[in-house]
Amino acid sequence: MPTKPESVTGNDTVIDVRDLSVHFGLRGSTLARLFGRDAGTVKAVDGVDLALRRGEVVGLVGESGSGKSTLGRALLGLVPITSGNVVFEGRDVGRMGRRELREVRSDIAMVFQDPNAALNPAMTVEVAVGDALRVQGVTSETERRERVVDALERVGLSPVELFLAKYPRDLSGGQKQRVVMARAIINSPTVLVADEPISMLDMSVRAKILQLMLDLKRDLDLSYVYITHDLASAKFFCDRIAIMYLGRIVEIGDTEEIFAHPRHPYTRALLKAIPDPDPARSVPRDLPRGEIPDAASPPLGCAFHPRCPVATATCGWESRDLRSLLEEHWTRRDAETYERERALVGDLDHLDTPATTARIGSGPPDQVRALLERIRAENPDEPLWQGVSEITEDGSGVVVRFHEGEDPDLRPAGGAEVACVLYGDDQG
Amino acid sequence: MELVDEVSGNRQPEPVISARDVRVWYGTTRGAIRAVDGVSFDLMPGETLGLVGESGCGKSTLGRGLMGLLPTGAKRDGEVVFKGRDVFSMSAKEAYALRGHELGMIFQEPLTRLNPLMRISEHFEETIRQHEPRLPRAEVQQRAFEVLRVMGIPPTRYRSYPHEFSGGMRQRLMIALALVLRPAFVVADEPTTALDVLVEAQIVGILNDLRRTFDTSLLLITHNVGIVAEACDRVAVMYAGRIVEQGAVADVLGNPQHPYTRELLRSTISLSTTGLEFIPGSPPDLVDPPAGCRFHPRCPDAMQVCAVKDPVDVERPGGGRVECWLRGPEDLVPEGGTRPLKQEELTVADEA
């Protein structure tokens, strides 16, 4: 059985991403637009540096909303670049015109997640795969057919005659993904950006498609950007892995290093969350709470701090975290206690505006303070409390002040680079 | 693991649900698709049974069949005894009364199952009043709060609309709605497939706790063997409309007796994967499945008997059932039947 290919050494960079940002403007309401009010932006990709070397497989791993797909699309100029550069063979993809982009897309090809959506149901396999040639200006039908046959053979769809006239509906999921692969390689690209190429497929088919990708890489001398949420397949498939969270790379390094010494708390959490078919391993209990936050209004400081089990005082604690704390507390209280405490705390919605000072309460300040102290006593290890610098009584409530947060940059740590206050230049 | 031992022990408690020779066929112009073709299993009180298999193996059809939620054109047969009554022979009205109240269902896509125009409170009111029309609103809220609390949804969100929740929260809501009437049996069809990795792990944790918090029996349908390992007591492996192996999770996944179970586990990519393994070929067409064992054309261990005679369901060495001629019964194998089967070369045309 094939084993993992040897890592490629050398520094032959194919694609160089420098400080790339892709921001999307939100539309907002009609009224807001009329008055020119800004509805905010979503920083889908926010200052990312990444180099893809020749013959390498780089994995972009993260949950939905982490920006991994947007980053992948930016490599082909499929999304408008806000700032920074994507340099392919010395040219900046972000500054290319339509004609140049079309040329680049024969060198950098893309495979999408859902083979059902990627294939036109009205096109036969021959037309669908040949269409990529037509777009690139191959007008001779004989040449097109020859190259289609060649591509289909390469992706294992043989005897080819059986498949040429078939429609997507006649094919299984795995076969469809092979057709998508054939279309991607037909213009002899040097780079393939594969966005979740196996996650829609059945377990027993996934290995087949990954094997196909390894074969194609060897035969066609390809480099891959492999986008996935699945750390297990990334571990097998990638030479290097970038873990993404809310538009940023939070940890990047050689696959072996990332798995042997995961450093960022988010990487650790992802590793713990993979369900293991080995029944001897038990369910991990200490998973991070919550979900990926709203990208239009990311947390202050480190974007992962609200979910981080090891967050420190300077990770960016703020008013919204206080709201989550209270709400979480109420999931452990009976209805009566909830009603009473809720009345004491009063309005919560104003906490949704991020701030390092939060005012709560609509009752005797000492009672509000006592409530907070009770919540703290229940779980003194809750990281939020480290972030509180002081609680002062004020009128009919209290004011909670948090320490100013820090938004960590990627810094070298051991054999990888990590964006976390726990890791500095001098720590391993 | 104690749960399993208790259940398979001598003091057999009554199963909550007992399915015998269940068949569900869909009519098509090409003939009947035998999506579920003779499936039997028991589910004990508070037990979680994982139903695992690849797409098209009939696992979702079986789940819906049990709930009586099949599309028109589907025909079902066999017996499903729930609390002493056969669900399959009930009138539509009786079955309707049973659903929600006694039988619950959790679907894959929570957003498509929640009404975007209704507040969460209204969802609970509708669900509960369907079965207890006269329950006062305060009582409804009380019950809803209770189950929401277990799901980790703060009561402050009770009057919110579905779109105000994240994907994981919506799935928690769906589970809460399915459990608020305290059904004895719940079918969860791929409840975590649409979710992110960390949220999936949170929901698996919740499902894992259900048997303790609600004493509900759960049929957990999934394609993910890892989830079965983490959340289930027993597992049933389905292939081409039949359960080919079932038993305690540790037994079946740790020591698979059916070649399909073994190959499925081998081809699953996990953190310990160092080489890619896969099952040759693809699952059969269920309009005209292969004779004998349905897995025989792809089975690396196939014998001559496997291509001609339907396998017989026998007891697994570690408890549970398996249907594979490799495991017997030997006296039913015809003369020379154990000689290896010469497999026709699988062309890539059959390859998935």
Position A28 scores a pLDDT of 66
Beta strand pairing call for A397-402 and A357-360? antiparallel
Helices then strands, each counted (H, E), chain B: 11, 12
How many residues belong to chain B?
A: 352
User: What is the domain extent for residue B190?
Assistant: 2-251
CB–CB contact B201 A275 (8 Å): yes
Tell me the C-alpha to C-alpha distance, in Å, between residue A150 and each of A144, A396, B3. 10, 77, 57
The answer to whether residues A342 and A266 belong to one domain is: no
Q: Hey, what are B171's tokens? A: 């799935």
B chain contacts of residue A156, beta-carbon cutoff 8 Å: 348, 351
**Separation of alpha carbons A385 and A376, rounded Å:** 7
CB–CB contact A275 B273 (8 Å): no
Q: Which residue has the tokens 């390469």?
A: A154
Residue A368 lies in a domain: yes
Say yes or no to pLDDT of B5 above 60. no
**Residue A399 carries which side chain, given as an amino acid letter?**
V
Closest CA to B351 of A177, A223, A376, A338: A177
Give B10→chain A minimum CA distance, Å: 25
Residue B233 lies in a domain: yes
Residue B129 lies in a domain: yes
Instruction: Give the residue on B whose Cα is nearest the Cα of A211.
Output: B276
Position A427 scores a pLDDT of 46
Position B17 scores a pLDDT of 93
Calculate ∠ Cα B25-B26-B27, nearest 5°: 120
Residue A220 lies in a domain: yes
Instruction: Note whether A110 and A76 are within 8 A (CB).
Output: yes
Report the residue from A158, A289, A291 with minimal CB separation from B348. A158
Q: Hey, what are B107's tokens? A: 């679907």
Q: Hey, what are A2's tokens? A: 């094939």
The answer to whether residues A254 and A330 belong to one domain is: no
Give B192→chain A minimum CA distance, Å: 12
Position A2 scores a pLDDT of 45
A chain contacts of residue B145, beta-carbon cutoff 8 Å: 335, 338
Sign of CA dihedral B2, B5, B7, B10: negative
Instruction: Note whether A297 and A38 are within 8 A (CB).
Output: no
**Phi/psi class of residue A159: alpha, beta or left (left: φ > 0; alpha: ψ in -120 to 50)?**
beta
Residue A29 lies in a domain: yes
Q: What is the CATH number of the domain that holds A149?
A: 3.40.50.300
Phi, psi of A183 (to 5 degrees): -65, -35
CB pairs under 8 A between A and B: 183
β-strand partners of B218 = B48, B186
Please tell me the total count of domains within chain A.
2
Instruction: Give the residue on A whose Cα is nearest the Cα of B225.
Output: A277
Position A428 scores a pLDDT of 42
Strand order across the A416-418 sheet: A108-111, A191-195, A223-228, A57-61, A240-245, A248-254, A416-418, A411-413
**Separation of alpha carbons A325 and A400, rounded Å:** 13
**Separation of alpha carbons B41 and B16, rounded Å:** 11
**Separation of alpha carbons B241 and B245, rounded Å:** 12
Position A29 scores a pLDDT of 67
Could you say which DSSP state residue B26 is in? E
Write out pLDDT tens, residues B82-127.
988 898 888 888 888 888 888 999 988 777 788 999 999 999 999 9
Residue A310 lies in a domain: no
Position B336 scores a pLDDT of 81
CB–CB contact A205 B202 (8 Å): no
Task: Kindly report the number of other CB atoms within 10 A of residue A347's CB atom.
Answer: 11
Residue A410 lies in a domain: no
Please list the alpha-helical segments (H only) found in chain B. 2-8, 59-67, 92-98, 110-113, 120-131, 137-150, 167-179, 197-213, 225-231, 249-254, 259-267
The answer to whether residues A257 and A329 belong to one domain is: no
CB–CB contact B154 A328 (8 Å): yes
Give A283→chain B minimum CA distance, Å: 6
Please list the alpha-helical segments (H only) found in B17-114. 59-67, 92-98, 110-113
Give me the interface pTM, i.e. the ipTM: 0.86
Chain CA centroid to CA B172, Å: 19
Residue B78 lies in a domain: yes
Position A32 scores a pLDDT of 66
Instruction: Give the residue on A whose Cα is nearest the Cα of B151.
Output: A331
The answer to whether residues A322 and A231 belong to one domain is: no
Position A425 scores a pLDDT of 56
Residue A171 lies in a domain: yes
Q: Which residue has the tokens 């996934």?
A: A206
Q: What is the CATH number of the domain that holds B24?
A: 3.40.50.300
β-strand partners of B235 = B50, B247
**Separation of alpha carbons A44 and A323, rounded Å:** 25
Share of chain A above pLDDT 70, in %: 92
Instruction: Give the residue on B whose Cα is nearest the Cα of A271.
Output: B271
Q: Which of A233, A253, A270 corresponds to the end of one domain?
A: A270
Tell me the C-alpha to C-alpha distance, in Å, between residue A149 and each of A110, A134, A135, A186, A308. 20, 15, 18, 10, 52
Write out pLDDT tens, residues A179-233.
999 999 999 999 999 999 998 888 888 999 999 999 999 999 999 999 999 999 9
Residue B265 lies in a domain: no
Report the residue from B55, B167, B227 with minimal CB separation from A275. B227
The answer to whether residues A20 and A118 belong to one domain is: yes
Please tell me the total count of domains within chain B.
1
B chain contacts of residue A282, beta-carbon cutoff 8 Å: 230
Position B351 scores a pLDDT of 62
Residue B319 lies in a domain: no
Give B155→chain A minimum CA distance, Å: 7
The answer to whether residues A164 and A246 belong to one domain is: yes
**Separation of alpha carbons A402 and A268, rounded Å:** 26
The answer to whether residues A236 and A330 belong to one domain is: no
CB–CB contact B156 A348 (8 Å): yes
**Separation of alpha carbons A407 and A419, rounded Å:** 8
User: What is the domain extent for residue A381?
Assistant: 317-402
Phi, psi of B82 (to 5 degrees): -115, 120
- For helices B167-179 and B197-213, what crossing angle results, to 10°? 20
The answer to whether residues A103 and A38 belong to one domain is: yes
Position A33 scores a pLDDT of 65
Residue B289 lies in a domain: no
Report the residue from A156, A158, A210 with minimal CB separation from B276. A210
The residue ranges of chain A whose pLDDT is under 50 are 1-10, 427-428
SS3 A363: coil
